[in-house]
Structure 1
């Protein structure tokens, strides 16, 4: 799909990967609704886009895991630009690290990392099927193909996000609905490197696992990879190509892979 002239909604768009995707879309001629829990950061990204590409972006704040907030984003896009052609389910949280996570922590991670994708698809996919065209981009993680040492809620919900994206593609791919799933490793965002004093980043072990696993990419590079995949209508987006090799090793001998991950975890913990 060519993005020029398309109408897109990008959640988690106030910075990081989402902000970079929103800017990349506008640079290619798309019109974008930039959404984020932090309305000020969403507005800052929209203002930057409009400075370079006047009239190409609007901003919205809100909890993008909620159905009514998502519905509001769609209506905002329709009012300002026209029907939504593309939805980037990019908002995400790291969540609680281990078995001590309570039900509320699990529900929060499930809402943001998974149910937000489901709820957006419920609102958009029927119309896309009727039109015979639409594009859903799910931001998951390499953790959704492999796992996340030191991050139980993150690993599980990102696996679920990959599974939902697969299901969407299988179910609606022959009815005009395109689906891509972004699965990066380390990216230079606040999710990996939170502001000082913030309590929403990865655990120390999880951060070490990510940063030692390979290169930490800049969001602009990831956004470029996303747009290239959309142009090719390719499902799996791997900014870190070696993730595919690791995924193949996992599938080829699951028990060996699990043993290797346990050894790697022990090394990270200094055991």
Structure 2
């Protein structure tokens, strides 16, 4: 399905990024993976080409894209997958300005920087696909992490903007919105490992993306129940907030880094 397509993926040392890379490689694509640290070992294991990219740095993102295109050819699909999360602490706004800025730069601006570099050539040739790994938190809420929730909402909105602004140019967009997926970020997290809606594998997310592309669907729901929650949130907003408040009381502040 993706034979000889050039795919670039950020945050792909493990977790969802690696799972998506493996899916594309299995379907005949040429895949470039990147992370803020060396990912040569992962690349060797799965048959990809490795790069270093700090998505919070626009120059690093531009260099990653330019290097991939120089080495492999014009990028067909860009997967903006790198993400970070941190806890509130005892109060909703207790987290540091630095942690909020990091969340904004990585979870939102990393996609903006990539789109800024890619869109002119994609519009000119009339094709391209931009995929944002957001989160169910981008449609709902992540208890214990206001910065993650706020920036993932912004990530969803930016992905929608790509679809709206450039659909007529022949450019496709997808937004991946899973709940908990096995990764370094969720390792040891009780809320993840005990999730009533399932603790998915990265391959489940990759297969859901493939299915969404085949069906030409913007949203990717690896946990199908997220769409139901999203609809109910829109229909019954007060009930949604009340229910989330009760869930908060039940599970505690799982992301809290400190009590005071």
In structure 1, what is the Cα distance between the partners aligned to 2:245 and 2:2?
Answer: 43
Residues paired across the two proteins, number = 250
> Shift in Å at residue 209 of structure 1?
6.8
Q: CA deviation at 1:104?
A: 1.4
Which residue is equivalent to 2:36?
Answer: 37
Aligned to 2:223: 240
Distance in 2 between the 1:38 and 1:95 partners? 19
Equivalent pair of 1:179/1:233 in contact (CA under 8 Å)? no
Shift of 1:105: 1.3
Q: Find out whether 1:78 has 2:69 as its counterpart.
A: yes
Do structure 1's residue 131 and structure 2's residue 125 form an aligned pair? Answer: yes
User: What SS does structure 1 have at the residue aligned with 2:195?
Assistant: helix
Answer whether contact 2:163 2:172 (CA < 8 A) is retained. yes
CA contact (8 A) 1:85 1:134 kept: yes
Counterpart of 2:256 in structure 1 is none
Aligned to 2:169: 175
What residue is the counterpart of 2:110 in the other structure?
A: 116
Query: 1:152 is matched with which residue?
Result: 146
Unmatched 5+ residue regions in structure 1?
51-56, 195-203
1:22 and 2:21 aligned: yes
> Would you say the 8 A contact 1:34–1:43 is kept in 2?
no
1:229 matched to 2:190 = no
For the 8 Å contact 1:186–1:211, the answer to whether it is kept is no
When residues 209 and 266 of structure 1 are mapped into structure 2, their CA distance, relative to the original with a 3 A threshold, is: farther
Question: Any stretches of 5+ residues in structure 2 without a counterpart?
Answer: 254-260
Deviations 1:71-108 (A, max 9, x none): 11112211221011110000001124231122211110
Shift in Å, 1:248: 0.9
TM-score by length of structure 2 reads 0.92
Contact 1:149 1:209 in 2 (8 A): no
| Structure 1 position 60 matched with structure 2 position 14 | no
Q: Distance in 2 between matches of 1:183 and 1:210?
A: 18
TM-score norm. by structure 1 comes to 0.88
Q: Which runs of 4+ in 1 moved over 4 A?
A: none
**Does the CA contact (< 8 Å) of 1:209 and 1:268 recur in 2?**
no
3-state SS of paired residue (1:3): coil
Deviates more, 1:226-235 or 1:236-245: 226-235
Matches of 1:76 and 1:228, distance apart in 2: 29
